[in-house]
Amino acid sequence: MEDPRERLVTSVSTAELERRWKAARELMRDRRIDVLLMRGDEEYFGGYTRWFTDLPARHSYPFTVIFPVDDEMTTITSSPPGAPGPAEWAARGVKRRLGAPYYPSLDYTSTYDAELAVGALKERKGATIGVVGKSLFHVPFYEYLTKHLSAATFISATDPIDHLKALKSPEEIELIKGTARLQDEVIEEVRKKMRPGLRDLDLFAEAHYAASLRGCERLQVLISSYPPESPWDFSSAIS
């Protein structure tokens, strides 16, 4: 049977994830934080959930991670309650996978994931909860959380986690170098496709295709054209 891990484009090693978890728990013990709570719905600026789980949040589907100081993680995803994502084989360091059919465009589902989070966090009475990346939390989620966990203490843990993320391991450095090489290769491919009369949209599609073939999971491409000796207007770029 095919190993499902072979379908993955790129993933960090379990040893790298364990390094991150160990560093985070040492920080939590030093600061007397019982649990970290993070949430994201995009890969572009949603690195916290990815850093802890190696699982991306995609396409505006909110993804919540609960990271205790003394236990494995709980994840909450927009998925059927009876078959919560992510796949079990992909959920390293995850003890519980919870799911509910919630979507930002359906307002009546706006607290479904918050209800699951409260249920998981209520087990830790009077806990100190370190919020990571508060700017990535939706208003209904955070309001419901603080209202129904009135005995908990909420503090910001964003800065200390940012410091941990900024200290790159040798494995992370190699991944960064690989990304830079991929970008160089894509630029070369795009140069080969350039010709008079090509539309910005056509070149945009070529760049996406070349990057996807090389294993890029999610990318931002900026394409713009303008007459010679004219200033480039960033706002006119296709992205």
Q: 66-85, pLDDT tens digit by residue?
A: 999 999 999 999 988 888 98
Residue 61: what pLDDT? 86
Q: How far apart are CA 203 and CA 193, in angstroms?
A: 7
Beta 63-68 vs 73-78: how paired, if at all? antiparallel
From the CB of residue 105, how many other CB atoms can be counted at a distance below 10 Å?
6
Question: In sequence order, what are the beta bridge partners of 67?
Answer: 36
Is 110 in contact with 138 (CB distance < 8 Å)? yes
Q: 61 pairs with which residues across the strands?
A: none
Burial (CB count <10 Å: 0-12, 13-18, 19+), residue 21: middle
Give the strand order in the sheet containing 128-132: 94-100, 73-78, 63-68, 35-40, 128-132, 153-156
Rounded average pLDDT over 44-60: 85
State the average pLDDT over residues 111-125.
94
Q: Which token pair is 13? A: 């090693």
pLDDT at 214: 86
H/E segment holding residue 171: helix 170-193
Position 30 confidence tier, pLDDT thresholds 50, 70, 90: very high
Asked if the model's pLDDT at residue 91 lies above 80, the reply is yes
145 within 8 A of 117, measured Cβ to Cβ: yes
Q: How high does pLDDT run on average in the chain? A: 89
Which range in 26-30, 177-181, 217-221 is most confidently predicted, on average pLDDT? 26-30
Rounded mean pLDDT, 128-142: 94
**What are the CA-CA distances from residue 152 to residues 71, 98, 120, 145 (Å)?**
18, 21, 13, 10
Give the CATH architecture of domain 4-166.
3-Layer(aba) Sandwich (3.40)
Residue-range domain boundaries for the chain: 4-166, 170-236
